[in-house]
Structure 1
Amino acid sequence: MSGNYGIAIDIGTSGIRAQALDIDSSEVISTTITLRHPFPGANVVDHLHFALKVGIKTTHDLLIEAINKVIRGLNIDTQNVKRVAVCGNPIQLSLFHNIEIRDLAYWGENAIERLKIEIPSRNATITNSKEIGLEVFEDALIFIPPAIRHEIGADALAMLYKTGVLDKEGIYLISDFGTNAEMALVIDGEVFTCSTAAGPAIEGQMIYKGRLASPGAICDLEDNDYEWKSIVLDNDLLITDGDTIDPSTGKIISKSKNNIEAIGITGTGVIAAFSLGIDDEIIVDSKIKTDDKKLHLQDDVYLAEEDIVNIGKSLGAFRAAHLTLAEEADILLDDIDAVYMAGASGFYVDPLKSLNIGQIPPSSREIYQVGNTSLDMAKDITLSPEFLDELQKIADQMRSNHIMLATSKTFEKIYSLELSIYEEGMPFWMYNKWLEKYGFQTMPSKELNPKIHRMFERDISDLGINGLNVVDIGLTLEAKFDGCTRCQTCIKNCPEDAITLEDDGRIILRTDKCAGLGCQKCVLTCPEKVFDYGKFLNLS
């Protein structure tokens, strides 16, 4: 190895991934991941809300502190780092770059004008480590790829570029399977995009026993006559057989030969349990038909009925987004030639189970699992900085039609039907009847023998010479609230154990554990109404 290093970073909504590279030999040296994001919450809306409350500077400092921990976890001489490339959605990259984000939070020209927001350029940018605050060689160059438009980020560009669909004839659907699921429908090079708030359940968060893809997590299940075998990720993030369990009772049918222990379940494992539960009629109308209302898996990992409802809402967001894209582009879902599944969740999930429960269109005839395209594109930029110019040209030339689902009447109507399925038990035949009544296409028949192409062995294809390191970012904010009586109501009501109280009255918030805007039990239950996110400062 030459000792001249580059670092590729993917800032995802649910965590950070990075790779150290030898920029002379192009070898991957090591890989580091976090299991959580440093900001409270589990989606981009939570992260935006948090940044607006505590300020862009504090949020930027918190993110950079987390990234510096990730960089240290790569175990290289950071003073020999000459280049860093960072990829992510517009919110994450704006906070990394420490630029205006309010244009991403407020919709419409009137709001932008009223708040006197100057929309920043999100073109390809080259800056330096000193400007950003990264703890590497002070003159190291930092490469930030362009957004297609201000709300369609570099992560979506990575998804489109790395799959090669922009240069193909035909109709293709590409989805990044994350909490803020970016989707693109490409029709002979014309791109229709949207982003749907699928929610944290899709990546194993806000699930009682859930966790992100990491060693010891159940990522899939196999059904053998109503007995379920767990498929577990090992220390190298490769799949291995776990125990076989009776899902109705938790009784162990057979132990695995390698004695691997399960410590939680990923979003892909939840998808598998949901699919098998429906097939085995253990889940009926979003209810679990077991004595204790739980689906039992290995080592006391289980799913509760609340988990089933949450994952149902996530799946509903996917299906409603697919239908909305197809309606806006004036095609039928049955016209799609191939489906591409990107991201860690999209890579590890069983595509047949995704097809079975609506995470991808049921008519999908050809399915490609392509892994982490965002990190892969950051790696390409790190090794070949001139690639940044090519990406800018692609972004400039792309004919893109972005559909804001938040204001789409089509999406609103379809997603209301999805909620009726998972919250009220509406049968699927009635769902299709309502689609017809609204003048929309109905869901196509399920493809029985789709062709599946798994492009790599794992979502990060090469972990490097020194392998994988999982980093606990464990960052904190602290504040004192005037009028706080130290009753500890906020602590007692925090479902994530993210809050502690110091003897001097300081409230300490563990940001990576905090559920953010989707929870706010600390704010809502404070009897004195003095708990305020805006008073937290990053003093860790």
Structure 2
Amino acid sequence: MADKNIADKNIKVTIMPLGIEVKATRGEKLINVAYGQGLDVNALCGGKGTCGKCRARVVKGGISEYTENEKKLLSEEEMQQGYVLLCQQEATGDLTIELDGLNNGQKEFVPDKGAYAENITGNDPIVTKTFHQLTFPTVNDQISDLNRIIGDVPGKVALDLRLLSRVPVILRDGEYRVTSAIFNDTIIALEAGNTTSQLYGIAFDIGTTSVAGYLVDLHSCKVLKTAFAANKQRVHGADVISRINYTIENPNGLSEMKELVINTLDEIISKLLAGSGIPPEHIYIITLVGNTVMSHLLLGVNPLGIAFSPFVPVFAESITAAVDFLGLKTLLPAARFILLPNIAGYVGSDTVGVMLATKIYELSGNWLAVDIGTNGEVVLAAENRLLTCSTAAGPAFEGASISQGMRAEPGAIYKVAINDDVDIAVVGDQEPRGICGSGLVDAVSELVRLGVVRKNGRINSPKDCPMELPEKVRNRIKTRGNGLNTFVLVEGKNEVAITQKDISELQLAKGAIRAGVEILLDEAGIAELDGILLAGAFGSHLRPESLKGIGMLPDIDVTRIRPVGNAAGSGAIMALQSKEQLQIACDLPKRTEHIELSLHKKFQRQFVRGMSF
């Protein structure tokens, strides 16, 4: 009887078009079945059924009743055709599902987080190696193995106790010719022979969406290899608030979140070392940057205090420990990690990395650095002051709140130009399936320029557009059943269009960033900027002309708006390569004034003004 009960719980789910047959448990969410196969299912709302991105069609088999969220996000026609939201439906029996076009059954696609600075240099790595030619013990020289090593190292050092049991074997295998690796006056590695030329570290930028890793030769100060992976925490939401909520609502949520990001780091380390000829035991140090919530989840520290006013983190200082504290499986336990310091609840060590890499703290004049994303971090350097704030830009730039929005993955429109007609560029040169943040910014900027979209964000009807508007462009304006106008970028069966709601979402996102910028300028008492630095994967791929076109940034010549690539990752590399740069990174938060926008008396007014095109 027990065997029958077990059999009744197990059902078969076939995933098309891949033809994968999966064993599932009755009552299991279909989205978890897909995740179990490593499929990249868009669920940017964290499986709450509010973004509508995880559409799929049930080709065969029964489904549970439609939820209220599904009824809101799916049309009657779609439901009649068997469309469901994977995060809302449970496996009730054997069934076949066909992943929606936005997923297309693809394995995970990881967007490039942006290039690091190529000119990073340093000559004082934070780990040093020394070759020791020790004397052999004799009856007349019975100094302990440990003291024999320590006595040959200048200054006062200690041995990491994880190494103690291996000391006699290493010394004798190397015939008392050994190499030590020292970090912060502690011997963290001991190796037979002369291995001083083998000195490596890894710098990480832990983004909310994706994680970048950089394998660094600490002798030559060269980045040997770069690897990316999607942050596995994405299964529980695209933004940090969704992830904090998951840790609150689930008893094991915090440990699960830590495990997901650690698995992501292990995956990247494996990619970096594959084919490099570098064994994991020669990776002695890693540096990490990320927003404050990511830093907490990495250490398994509850970020609850960040979610609510007054947005207080558990820690802000730099954290250093052995990697076995993190639970990394790909490196030796005694290797060390340094998590760079945070500034505030929503201004993390990734912003410190941006400041370090751009050297904004020593630029002459007034400079602004903006990292545009779900949270937009802004840094202003003006007259020997450093000011920073974080703006809740929302998920528009990630595509979560856009009707046909998607990440910058194959099939996403990422660039739009409009002259006599619409000209688009698509990631992977594929048939367009949706639009990502940079494409949306481009498109709306062009529509504002041509008078299709008003300053208040309304899409004009064809008859209300300027007379000189090209006819092909005018014909792309369609009035839908709700009476609102839509602009069609791609016509035909697989139509891609920008709705009135999409433009409103962009207004909210860019209005928040512009408000943060204006408040920092006001706090510093300046009206003009000498330059603007655009950081991060998203910011670095935005056209300055488009940003000006939608009014996200102050009025400044586009030649003075400069993308700086993955500056956060570059900062992590600099801290890895140089004791001096690491110290600067640790000192920067002490010099920085944080402005809490949620409590600022001018924020609401600036936000409303910032929404205008």
TM-score between the two structures when normalised by the length of structure 2: 0.57
Q: What is the distance in 1 between the residues matched to 2:341 and 2:542?
A: 29
Going from structure 1 to structure 2, the CA distance change for 1:268 and 1:331 (only over 3 Å counts) comes to same
Q: Note the C-alpha offset of 1:48.
A: 2.6
**Aligned counterpart for 1:352 among listed residues 523, 545, 562:** 545
Q: CA deviation at 1:67?
A: 3.0
Structure 2 residue aligned with 1:41 = 237
CA deviations on 1:218-244 (whole Å, 9 max, x unpaired) are 32222232x12223445xxxxxxxxxx
Pick one of 510, 525, 531 that aligns with 1:338.
531
Please say if residues 15 and 37 of structure 1, whose CA atoms lie closer than 8 Å, have aligned partners that are also in contact: no
Aligned equivalents of 2:301 and 2:260: distance in 1? 15
Structure 2 unaligned segments of length 5 or more: list them. 1-196, 462-476, 481-485
Aligned 1:228-239 pairs, distance under 5 A:
228-234=422-428
CA distance in 1, matches of 2:321, 2:302: 16
Residues 1:351 and 1:301: Cα distance change in structure 2 (over 3 Å): same
| Letter paired with 1:411 | F
In structure 2, C-alpha distance between the alignment counterparts of 1:383 and 1:134, rounded to whole Å = 22
* Contact persistence 2:373–2:538 (CA under 8 A): yes
Question: Using the alignment, how far apart are the partners of 1:273 and 1:14 within structure 2?
Answer: 23
Provide the residue aligned with 1:133 in structure 2. 327
Q: 2:214 touches 2:223 (CA, 8 Å); kept in 1? A: no
User: Aligned partners of 2:535 and 2:360: how far apart in 1?
Assistant: 13
2:367 counterpart SS class: strand
Q: Is the contact between residue 210 and residue 228 of structure 2 (CA under 8 Å) also seen in structure 1?
A: no
Partner AA of 1:71 in structure 2: I
Q: Distance in 2 between matches of 1:35 and 1:144?
A: 17
The equivalent residue for 2:286 is: 84
Q: Given the alignment of the two structures, is residue 155 of structure 1 paired with residue 350 of structure 2, yes or no?
A: yes
Letter in 2 for 1:360: L
Indicate the residue corresponding to 1:270 in structure 2.
440
Query: 1:394 Cα deviation (Å)?
Result: 3.4
1:357 & 1:7 partners in 2: Cα distance? Answer: 38
1:184 aligns with 2:379: yes
Aligned AA (1:125): I
User: Would you say 1:381 and 2:381 are equivalent positions?
Assistant: no
Greater mean deviation of Cα atoms: 401-410 or 27-36: 27-36
**8 Å CA contact retained: 1:38, 1:62:** no
Describe the superposition over 1:68-117 as per-residue Cα deviations: whole angstroms up to 9, x where unpaired: 33434446265553322211111111211223423323434xx98xxxxx
CA contact (8 A) 2:200 2:283 kept: yes
* Aligned twin of 2:297: 95
The answer as to whether partners of 1:204 and 1:267 remain within 8 angstroms in 2 is yes
Structure number with the bigger relative contact order (C-alpha 8 A, sep ≥ 6) is: 1
Counterparts in 2 of 1:212-291, with a 5 A limit?
A: 212-225=407-420, 227-234=421-428, 260-284=430-454, 285-287=457-459, 289=461, 290-291=477-478
Report the counterpart of residue 36 of structure 2 in structure 1: none
**1:145–1:154 Cα contact (<8 Å) kept:** yes
Shift of the 416–354 alpha-carbon distance from structure 1 to 2, 3 Å rule, reads: closer
Identify the residue that residue 203 of structure 1 maps to in structure 2.
Answer: 398
SS of equivalent residue, structure 2 residue 234: coil
Task: Say which of 597, 602, 609 aligns to 1:410.
Answer: 602
How far apart are residue 327 of structure 1 and its match?
A: 2.4
* Secondary structure class of the residue paired with 1:354: helix
- Aligned-residue CA RMSD in angstroms? 2.9
Q: Is the 8 A contact 1:288 1:295 kept in 2?
A: no
Q: Deviations over 1:141-185 (max 9, x none)?
A: 112111235653211112222222211231111110111000012
Is the Cα–Cα contact under 8 Å of residues 204 and 265 in structure 1 kept in the other structure? yes
Identify the residue that residue 111 of structure 2 maps to in structure 1. none
Q: State whether residues 124 and 389 of structure 1, in contact with CA within 8 Å, keep that contact through their aligned partners in structure 2.
A: no
Specify whether residues 354 and 336 from structure 1 end up closer, same or farther in structure 2 by C-alpha distance, changes over 3 A only. same
Displacement of 1:5 in angstroms is 4.6
Amino acid at match of 1:368: R
Alignment of 1:4-23 (within 5 A): 5-23=200-218
What's the secondary structure of 2:243's corresponding residue? helix
Contact 1:21 1:30 in 2 (8 A): no
Contact conserved, 1:13 with 1:180, CA < 8 A, in 2?
A: no
> Aligned equivalents of 1:179 and 1:326: distance in 2?
22
1:446-485 equivalences in 2 (<5 Å): none
Report if aligned partners of 2:574, 2:582 keep a CA contact under 8 Å in 1: no
1:391 aligns with 2:391: no
Q: What is the identity, as a one-letter code, of the residue corresponding to 1:295? A: V
Letter of the 2:248 counterpart: L
**Shift of the alpha carbon at 1:24?**
4.3
Name the CA distance, whole Å, in 1 between partners of 2:408 and 2:366.
30
Structure 2 equivalent of residue 62 of structure 1 = 260
Q: CA deviation at 1:52?
A: 2.9
Residue 411 and residue 272 in structure 1: after superposition, are their counterparts in 2 closer, same or farther (change >3 A)? same
The superposition leaves residues 12-31 of structure 1 with CA deviations (integer Å, 9 ceiling, x where unpaired) of 23322223334444232232
Which deviates further from its counterpart, 7-16 or 189-198? 7-16
Instruction: Give the counterpart letter for 2:490 in structure 1.
Output: L
Which string of whole-angstrom CA distances, capped at 9 and with x for unpartnered residues, describes residues 290-318 of structure 1?
12524323874433332222112111112
Over 3 Å counting, the alpha-carbon distance change for 1:129 and 1:348 in structure 2 is same
Return 5+ residue gaps in structure 1 as ranges.
113-118, 235-258, 422-427, 429-540
Q: State the SS of the aligned residue for 1:134.
A: coil
Identity of aligned residues (%): 26
Cα displacement string for residues 326-362 of structure 1 (whole angstroms, at most 9, x for unaligned residues): 2222222xx1121111111111111011011112112
Closer/same/farther in 2, CA of residues 59 and 270 from structure 1, 3 Å limit: same
For residues 126-145 of structure 1, what are the alpha-carbon distances to aligned partners after superposition, in whole Å with 9 as ceiling and x for unaligned? 22221101122222211211
> Distance in 1 between the 2:432 and 2:412 partners?
6
In 1, the alpha carbon distance for the partners of 2:322 and 2:520 equals 39
User: Partners in 2 of 1:278 and 1:141 — Cα distance?
Assistant: 51
Q: 1:61 to 1:172 in 2, by over 3 A?
A: same
Distance in 2 (CA, whole Å) between partners of 1:210 and 1:315 is 16
Equivalent-residue separation in structure 2 for 1:194 and 1:379 (angstroms): 24
CA, structure 1 residues 97+386, in 2 after alignment: closer, same or farther (shift >3 Å)?
farther
Report what 2:22 is aligned to. none
Q: Classify 1:206/1:5 alpha carbon distance in 2 versus 1 (closer, same or farther; 3 Å).
A: farther
- CA offsets, 1:205-260, max 9 Å, x none? 332333333455332222232x12223445xxxxxxxxxxxxxxxxxxxxxxxx65
Q: Which residue in the other structure is 1:370 paired with?
A: 564
Q: Quick one: which of 518, 531, 549 aligns to 1:323?
A: 518
Query: Which of the pair has more CA radius of gyration?
Result: 2
Q: What is the CA–CA distance in structure 2 between the aligned matches of 1:408 and 1:65, rounded to whole Å?
A: 39
- 1:414–1:34 CA distance, 2 compared to 1 (3 A): same
Output the CA distance in 1 between the equivalents of 2:487 and 2:543. Answer: 22
Q: Which amino acid aligns with 1:278?
A: V
1:308 aligns with 2:503: yes
Task: Using the TM superposition, give the Cα deviation of residue 402 of structure 1 relative to its aligned residue in structure 2, in angstroms.
Answer: 1.4
Partners of 2:345 and 2:435 in 1: CA distance: 35
Structure 1 pair 315/152, CA: closer, same or farther in 2 (3 Å)?
closer
Partner of 1:321, secondary structure, is: helix
